Amino acid sequence: MVVSDLVPIRTALLSVSNKQGLVELARQLAASGVRLISTGGTFRHLDEHGIPVTELSDFTGFPEMLDGRLKTLHPKVFGGLLAKRDDHDHMRAIAFHQIDPIDLVVVNLYPFRETIARAGTTRDEAIEQIDIGGPSLIRAAAKNQAHVCVVTHPDQYATITEALNQDGGTRLPLRQRLACEAFQHTASYDRAIAEYLSAGECDDKEFPLTLTQTFHRKALLRYGENPHQQAALYAEDGPATANLVSARQLSGKELSYNNLLDLDSALSIVRDFGVPAATVIKHNNPCGAATAERLYRALQKALDGDPLSAFGGVLGLNRTVDEATAEVLCQPGLFIEAIVAPDFEAAAVGLLTTKPKWRDNVRLMQTGPLDQPTAGKHRRFIAGGLLVQDADNLPSIPLEWQTVTLTQLDSAIWDDVFFAWEMVRHVRSNAILLAKDTAVVGVGAGQMSRVDSVEIAIAKAGDRARGSVLASDAFFPFADSIAAAAKAGVLAIVQPGGSRRDNEVIEACDRHGIPMIFTGRRHFRH
């Protein structure tokens, strides 16, 4: 027996928890003469919409039982899925047992991830959402991809209706692609279950023995960090949060690899602040950042941090971009690659997308309301493996800080001390940051020597260094940078402390009349 590349759809089995788009697909199938078979909830949904459908228990002659745990696991179902149409013995066997071939399976699985994401979900409730029949149907249909088509997501329905309208059935390349996606789907589902169980009783809750995660390609990028490197963007499975991958692009050309890295850094900075905040990112470091009582004011202060570097940078804002904020961006000579914010007023979008040179270029990324950072894990791939650590997003606790110099801190600059310390954690090590009026005025980033970072930050700040606060992401090992800070007019220094030479550094601060605060927490960012 020879089977054509084209397989007509005569019988379809539908069993879904997500009913999105199901009625439209079923109507199309029924109108094309396809026999529909369905399980309990799906059967009732289609029946209520007047779509002719056979209940699975009538098809198999065996009732659903065990509270729905047992329904699709039956030889009439799996015989119809697994029989190879070009194998005489297979076809004789299913004919002898009166088993009809099933040509299309439409299945999506119990909402396990959604269930465990809900607060208060018990272990028993989670286990009840472990689908058994669904993955079995998917795997059987995907294994027999030469003859059976499997659909696992509503986004794929249009492909099926298009194939039905055009060819009256499915062709092998489509079945092969959908089978591949089906196995990815079940693998991701099983990984979610394994991770949930391993985080409970089976393994180390913080760092399980086996770590797996599924990512789905969202977009192919024009290129990577450089034009000769190909690149793509993948979305991570998991509960929905406000992030760059799930953000809605309101305008502009497609994002580049570097845009995405910079926008992600911008978003991580501004979501740290409860007051209106803005930041300017260039090459994955903040060249400007500020807070203020109004967003437009914070933005202007952030742009003033390093106007030269701000040109061609990306912006992060933690409030809805209003017209006043958009007007700040319309100042002559300024160009921004992309902006990420919770939302944009219509008037602001109008201003930004009609500004000369911005019309077709500026990318506006809308994330929705920003959730506050929560404890989580930071992952970084290295050759042959993966490094995992707690994310460095624990809130600062000023009550635990200590002024270690005889010179005491003037309370009038306390806000700058706190702002500088919050910002320096976002700068590449060795990191030195100068802040004044809750705005960044100078940054020294990514230097092999902390002395070099101090000198760069002071040079960037220029005259604005006078009256600023200096933050260091790690301890000062030597006192020479204290003299440079004092000469520049720095009013206070905040750092983790913990060096064997702390006493020398403290004495240098007292000689220059500079108060020094130890926070007890380091913020290296390699």
Query: Would you please indicate which residues are annotated as catalytic (active-site) residues?
Result: 143, 283
CA distance 302 to 506: 31
Q: Environment class of residue 417 by beta-carbon count within 10 Å: exposed (0-12), middle (13-18) or buried (19+)?
A: buried
Of the candidates 184, 218, 165, 171, the residue with the CA atom closest to the CA atom of residue 27: 165
Sole residue written with tokens 């904020």: 325
**Which residues does residue 362 pair with via DSSP β-bridges, in sequence order?**
none
DSSP 352-413: HHHSTTTTTT-EEEE--SPPPP-S-EEEEEETTEEEEEE-S-PPP-GGG-EE-SSSPPPGGG
Residues 6+ apart with CB under 8 A from 247: 340, 365, 366, 367, 368
Three-state DSSP class for residue 479? coil
DSSP 148-174: -EEE-SGGGHHHHHHHHHHHSEEEHHH
Of the candidates 125, 176, 189, the residue with the CA atom closest to the CA atom of residue 147: 176
Tell me which amino acid residue 292 is: A
Residue 110's alpha-carbon distances to 18, 78, 99, 133, 289, in angstroms, are 8, 20, 27, 10, 45
Of the candidates 447, 429, 491, the residue with the CA atom closest to the CA atom of residue 466: 491
My answer on whether omega of the bond before 144 falls inside 30° of 0, hence cis, is no
First-to-last alpha carbon distance for the chain, in angstroms, is: 63
**Which residues does residue 107 pair with via DSSP β-bridges, in sequence order?**
15
Virtual torsion, Cα 144, 148, 151, 157, nearest 10 deg = 160
Residue 500's alpha-carbon distances to 91, 262, 474, in angstroms, are 81, 36, 13
Residue 418's alpha-carbon distances to 353, 424, 518, in angstroms, are 36, 10, 12
